[in-house]
Structure 1
Amino acid sequence: MPRALAVAVVTVLVMSGLWLLGPGRTTQDTGMDALSAVPADIEVPLRKKRMRPSPATEPQVVAMRLDAAAAKQQLLERKVRKRKKAQRLKKLRGTPYSFQIGSFNVLGSQHTAPGGSRKGFQPGGVRIGRAASYVRAHGVEILGTQELQADQLNSLVANTGMKAYPGYAWGEKETDHSILYDPDVFELVSGEAFHVPLMGRTRPFPVIRLRHKLTTRELYVINTHPSSGGGRYAAERQRGHGIVVGLVNKLVATGLPVLVTGDMNDRENFYCSVVARTAMTASNGGGSGCAPPPGPIAVDWVVGAGVSWSSYWRDTRPVEDRTSDHFFISATASVD
């Protein structure tokens, strides 16, 4: 017989026995135990007594009230800290600051390797050590580089402690236009590529957003290197200038300062084609419209919008000691 059916039968029998005993009588009166009628191998379910939680004692009530008060106080303190931080950041965002920014075409190591196009120069691995000394001498905290090959990137980062974007982010063959920055002064917010024609093919170039750690204020840096030469390369270079103009004007609309570095392969024409068509000024001077700075003008430029300039340095020593075939350019940029 199934167990559930057996239980049901026993229950009916027990209830029938109680009815037969008559009103007021119990199994105790007859010496019978109602449960004794249940076979030993069948369990009769018993109702469990529901336990009510005991009321909290006075010390427990006091402890709960203290915990609630402490939680309320902690919440209040967090709100105060958050408000003070917001006030401090608001004040910092209005704090003026200055930094050194430069541009340097290091002369890629492929040009001075056996069979390279630049004769009379030492190998890139030797020259990049001197390049690092110029970085330190100029005290730059942001540096746009050109022709920076992977081996030179490794050495320059190791010898200056600077970080690089894109570095290796776009692959080993796309390190040559990396922007270096001092991680003690700036932190990288974002980085992306824009594309410019260079000597017959389209190449990626970096634009990064940096945050000045002390003031939390942010800025953009663009690094570029358009085609050199005449003919179709001159046309490519002009298209590259136009791309930079469009990008600068777009970023200026954000309200943040925009800095541009690069070997532009142009002197007066770069000023008139790019600087004059944007809100930028050149670190080496110049007037409004197509009014380039007085000579001598290098093909390497540091320009920007939302900054003022001082301490422009056109360092000719890298050419003189054959570290590179370009000057090292730097200046102090100030953000009000």
Structure 2
Amino acid sequence: MTITKRLAAAVTGLLAIGLLSVPVIAAAPAQAQRLPQDRPVTPPNVYFPVSGKNVHDLKNSGKRPGTEIKARCGNRVRASHPGIAVVTSSPASGPNLVAIVTTIGRLTTWYGYMKKATVTSGQLVQAGQVIGRVGQEGKAQFCSLYFAVRGNTGTNVNPSKWLNRTVGKPVNTTSMFDSWGIVVASLNTLGASHTKNDRKYPTYDVRTPQQVALLNSYSADVVGLQEFQQPQRDLFLATAAGTFGIYPDDATLADPSSPFVSGNYHPTENSIIWRNSTMELLDEDFIRVPYFEGYRNMPVVLLRERVTGRTAWFINVHNPASGVGYGDQTSHRAEAIAIERAKVIELRATGRPVFVTGDFNDRKPAFCGLTAGMLTITPDSIPSVSCAPPPSLGIDWIFTAGQARFTRYARDWRPKDLQLTDHPIVWARAHIAD
């Protein structure tokens, strides 16, 4: 049975036991000073489920599990957290009842009374993504959203208290799609050649062992590494002592006729590593992108998550920077983004999700180039046909296309504070669906 069918059965069962029944409305208590609907939020953190002005949570759960959130009919209804949508109906909540399920038996939220649902059953949804419009369906007495929450123990949770406690914070579960997920990261390691005579950053032999410890402290499962020069690679692998697999691997680098090595200067600089205890290599590939005065091959691997058996493609890139002695590289970066986008489309045709990590040396152009047409999202963005970047933009990114979502995300500057590199580590807990 697929995840979607199991979710539909679970939601139907909850309807049968009256989870979404609607009694007489009680008087709303006084609002707290700081309202959840007024808090700034970016994905994958928890959203207040209704957007717009004059939105008011009546906080009238008690005899029934849900609360009514009064708002204008037609206001956008947003998923409070990521998950899989299940669209159903009930006499009480109307014909467009949506459940967003993380994992069966764990956090699930319901959205009723809606005049319209804009998602379909089985659709993967990002936190903050529009899933419908406020209406007056079912037993609604006025324009409002009926909102209910089941927690991680499978029991009803006071939805108003849950919103007050969680809006703007990470979702209170790291289980999604029946998986605890994997930690995906991108790290520019700061090439050894850049710190030979640098007064600010230690040499690579000091930094590299600490970078291994750093990645272990994050329990990183898959990492795209940039500026990973040969001496750094050698010391990293010796320090890690078999913890990580890597591509390009030793056999590839030792073969001068290998397509990855042929015509590719400094072939180690862009590498993908994976934790051998959690991930398994199935296939390898590369893309060729412009870089300063020539082209570089960037690694692509297909990995299997050992616990779930689910697979995904991973691409790691480093696009050329301007102002470092090679002139304006804007056109080369645009060409690189086009090549990288085309590769994502090609790999998505296999039916598997795709992750892209890297130092793109671009903010909005990189984001828009890869997310346009809802091809990909970042952990902190919402799917968009055109371009809807998050409030904070860096040059180091994680993108995903297809059946994967995130429950945690950070652009963490601790590595720079520790003088391990001049970049942040960008990491996310990713969950691959069936």
TM-score tier after normalising by the smaller chain length:
0.5 to 0.7
Equivalence for 1:312: 409
Give 5+ residue unaligned stretches, structure 1: 1-93
Is the 1:245–1:278 Cα contact (8 Å) retained in structure 2?
no
Structure 1 stretches of 4+ with a deviation exceeding 4 A read 94-97
* 3-state SS, counterpart of residue 274 of structure 1: helix
Equivalence for 2:253: 170
TM-score normalised per structure 1: 0.67
Equivalence for 1:333: 430
Is the 1:196–1:202 Cα contact (8 Å) retained in structure 2?
yes
> What amino acid maps onto 1:243 in structure 2?
I
Equivalence for 1:121: 201
Shift of 1:277: 4.3
Q: Write the distance in 2 (CA, Å) between the matches of 1:112 and 1:200.
A: 22
> What amino acid maps onto 2:313 in structure 1?
Y
Please show how residues 206-285 of structure 1 align to structure 2 within 5 Å. 206-229=299-322, 232-277=328-373, 279-285=375-381
Deviations 1:286-305 (A, max 9, x none): 4512110111x221111101
Equivalence for 1:151: 231
TM-score normalised per structure 2: 0.53
Q: Write the distance in 2 (CA, Å) between the matches of 1:277 and 1:197.
A: 24
**Which one has the bigger helix percentage?**
1
**Which one has the bigger strand percentage?**
2
Q: Write the distance in 2 (CA, Å) between the matches of 1:178 and 1:120.
A: 25
Q: Considering Cα pairs closer than 8 Å and 6+ residues apart, tell me whether 1 or 2 has the greater RCO.
A: 1
Shift of 1:157: 2.5
Q: Write the distance in 2 (CA, Å) between the matches of 1:262 and 1:107.
A: 13
Is the 2:317–2:358 Cα contact (8 Å) retained in structure 1?
yes
Equivalence for 2:418: 321
Query: How many residue pairs end up in the alignment?
Result: 239
Give 5+ residue unaligned stretches, structure 2: 1-176, 255-260
Is the 1:245–1:277 Cα contact (8 Å) retained in structure 2?
no
Q: Write the distance in 1 (CA, Å) between the matches of 2:290 and 2:209.
A: 30
Q: Does 1:201 align with 2:283?
A: no
Shift of 1:242: 0.3
> What amino acid maps onto 1:248 in structure 2?
V
Equivalence for 2:49: none
Greater radius of gyration (CA): 1
Question: Which one is further off, 132-141 or 100-109?
Answer: 132-141
Q: Provide the alpha-carbon RMSD of the alignment.
A: 1.9
Shift of 1:229: 1.0
> What amino acid maps onto 1:102 in structure 2?
A
Q: Write the distance in 2 (CA, Å) between the matches of 1:189 and 1:97.
A: 21
Q: Write the distance in 2 (CA, Å) between the matches of 1:277 and 1:322.
A: 38
* 3-state SS, counterpart of residue 253 of structure 2: coil
